[in-house]
């Protein structure tokens, strides 16, 4: 009986939505070589990927009061990214570490850490890593991304996978994105603002001035480059090529703490996303009104690859949508967000019990597809619950 009770006490209960997600969060933990800590990107076939790690890390750790595991995973990832910046062999098991948005997601992840422990402790622990990343980018050392004179970052990777929309068919990209990419520049602007804030605490005043001046240029160029006459953002711009597709990547420009857009511009973008992309299971990767809409990821491998980011709905994107809603409309959207989360709670008793799958069809009945358990979806849902709780506590 004592042994039985001991085993029961060590297990996380799955008696409600939140506890199911906490239990799922722990299932992504992975330790190698005794001290290297990772987050698996999903089950059953995903390994640890750099982008997925930084996106899911705050939700899977900070949102459930597990700051210690955040620091352990970040220590492993920091080691790997420093090796990458020094052009040394990467000794940690993080794939896709060379992707251009990875260092910017790393800074975003640390930014969430600062909200929990405070700016001063964050600066002491991760300040050097953040500033090393920025110097690495400003000095033009990233193989696929450069900082332009207008303050924006340009991704140069024609024919290569450069963003999270990474499906290929016969070696060709299904969603080719090159040049000024909207979510990468949103992350870049956010990183500049956060780094300038930290550097003011204890740092070189000249570097702070450099960051603020660059941020101002980025802000002006961002609006000129991405905002179109229909009240939403181009997905990417490369010379005279502007992608008019309505995609959820514009959400990051209105959800991140530092936005280059005015309040009216943010509201307009949110309204477009609500009308064309929102589903009960997250955000569609493409609007039904845009060309190439293909919302059902099923069938042979090629057919699934062609539909992977062409209309399927992803809960982790819904996390940033709900964060944007609360930032723009505050408490007036609380009940709306709570109803939106019901669509995720319904999944606790289907597919893989107690967790969220990789994606859903973009059309009713929104059937689950892909990996049976996906770290970014679980992490962002937990982070949304944490944000929602803070707004609720204010009432």
User: Could you read off the pLDDT of 129-187 as tens digits, one per residue?
Assistant: 999 999 999 999 999 999 999 999 999 978 788 999 999 998 889 999 999 999 999 99
pLDDT at 54 over 90: yes
pLDDT in tens, 256-284: 999 999 999 999 999 999 999 999 999 99
Helix, coil or strand: residue 89: coil
In a domain, 11, yes or no: no
Could you give the percent of the chain with pLDDT greater than 70?
99
Contact predicate 180/236, CB 8 Å: yes
CA distance 336 to 309: 26
User: Contact 360/374 with Cβ under 8 angstroms?
Assistant: no
SS3 29: strand
- Whether 137 maps to a domain, the answer reads yes
Whether 256 contacts 326, CB under 8 Å: no
pLDDT tens digits for range 72-121: 999 999 999 999 999 999 999 999 999 999 999 999 999 999 999 999 99
- Looking at the structure of the chain, the number of domains it has is 1
CA proximity to 360, closest of 283, 290, 250 = 283
pLDDT of residue 34: 86
pLDDT reading at 393 higher than 70: no
- E strand or H helix at 306: helix 301-307
Q: What is the pLDDT of residues 31-48, one digit of tens each?
A: 998 899 999 999 999 999
- For the beta carbon of residue 43, count every other beta carbon within 10 angstroms: 18
- What are the backbone dihedrals phi and psi of residue 21, each rounded to the nearest 5 degrees, phi first? -70, -40
Report d(CA 395, CA 391) in Å as an integer: 7
Q: What is the pLDDT of residues 187-242, one digit of tens each?
A: 999 999 999 999 999 888 999 999 999 999 999 999 999 999 999 999 999 999 99
Q: In this structure, is residue 8 part of a structural domain?
A: no
pLDDT of residue 338 exceeding 70: yes
Taking 80 as the threshold, does the pLDDT of residue 360 lie above it? yes
User: Using 50, 70 and 90 to split pLDDT, how confident is the model at 11?
Assistant: confident
Domain with 326, as residue range(s), is 16-394
Please report, to the nearest 10 degrees, the dihedral formed by the alpha carbons of residues 266, 384, 252, 287 taken in order. Answer: -80
- Give residue-wise pLDDT tens across range 313-325: 999 999 999 999 9
User: Cα separations (Å) of 23 from 16, 42, 68?
Assistant: 11, 14, 17
Residue 2 counted as domain residue: no
Assess whether pLDDT exceeds 50 at residue 350.
yes
pLDDT in the model for residue 12: 77
Longest dimension (CA), the chain: 72
Residue 126 lies in a domain: yes
CATH of the domain at 280: 1.50.10.10
Q: Are strands 241-242 and 278-279 parallel, antiparallel or unpaired?
A: unpaired
| Rg of the chain over all Cα atoms, to the nearest angstrom | 20
Is residue 240 helix, strand or coil? coil
Quote the mean pLDDT of the chain: 95
For residue 306, being part of any structural domain is answered with yes
pTM, to two decimals: 0.95
Output the pLDDT for position 394. Answer: 53
What size, in residues, is the chain?
Answer: 395
Indicate if the pLDDT at residue 395 is higher than 50: no
Which pLDDT score, from 0 to 100, does residue 94 have? 96
């Amino acid at each position: 009986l004592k042994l039985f009770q001991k085993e029961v006490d060590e297990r996380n209960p799955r008696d409600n939505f939140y506890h199911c997600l906490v239990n799922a969060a722990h299932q992504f933990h992975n330790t190698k070589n005794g001290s290297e800590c990772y987050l698996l990107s999903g089950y059953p076939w995903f390994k640890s990927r750099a982008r997925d790690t930084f996106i899911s890390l705050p939700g899977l750790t900070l949102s459930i009061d597990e700051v210690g595991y955040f620091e352990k995973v970040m220590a492993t990832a920091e080691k790997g990214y420093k090796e990458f910046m020094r052009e040394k062999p990467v000794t940690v098991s993080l794939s896709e570490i060379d992707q251009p948005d990875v260092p910017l997601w790393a800074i975003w992840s640390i930014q969430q850490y600062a909200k929990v422990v405070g700016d001063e402790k964050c600066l002491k622990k991760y300040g050097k890593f953040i500033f090393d990343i920025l110097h690495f980018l400003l000095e033009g050392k990233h193989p696929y991304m450069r900082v332009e004179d207008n303050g924006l970052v340009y991704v140069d990777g024609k024919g290569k996978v450069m963003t999270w929309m990474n499906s290929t068919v016969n070696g060709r990209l299904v969603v080719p994105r090159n040049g000024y990419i909207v979510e990468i520049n949103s992350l870049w602007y956010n990183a500049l603002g956060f780094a300038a804030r930290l550097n003011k605490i204890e740092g070189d005043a000249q570097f702070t001035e450099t960051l603020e001046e660059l941020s101002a240029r980025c802000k002006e160029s961002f609006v000129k480059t991405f905002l179109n006459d229909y009240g939403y953002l181009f997905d990417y711009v490369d010379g005279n090529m502007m992608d008019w597709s309505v995609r959820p990547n514009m959400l990051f420009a209105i959800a991140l703490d530092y936005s280059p857009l005015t309040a009216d511009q943010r509201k307009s973008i949110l309204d477009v996303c609500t009308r064309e992309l929102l589903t009960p299971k997250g955000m569609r990767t493409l609007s039904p009104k845009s060309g190439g809409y293909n919302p059902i990821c099923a069938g042979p491998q090629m057919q699934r690859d062609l539909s992977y980011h062409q209309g399927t709905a992803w809960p982790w994107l819904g996390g940033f949508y709900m964060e944007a809603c609360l930032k723009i409309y505050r408490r007036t959207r609380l009940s709306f967000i709570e109803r939106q989360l019901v669509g995720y709670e319904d999944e606790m008793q289907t597919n893989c019990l107690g967790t969220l799958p990789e994606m859903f069809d973009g059309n009713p009945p929104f059937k689950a597809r892909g990996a049976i358990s996906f770290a970014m979806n679980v992490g962002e849902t937990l982070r949304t619950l944490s944000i929602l709780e803070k707004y609720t506590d204010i009432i």
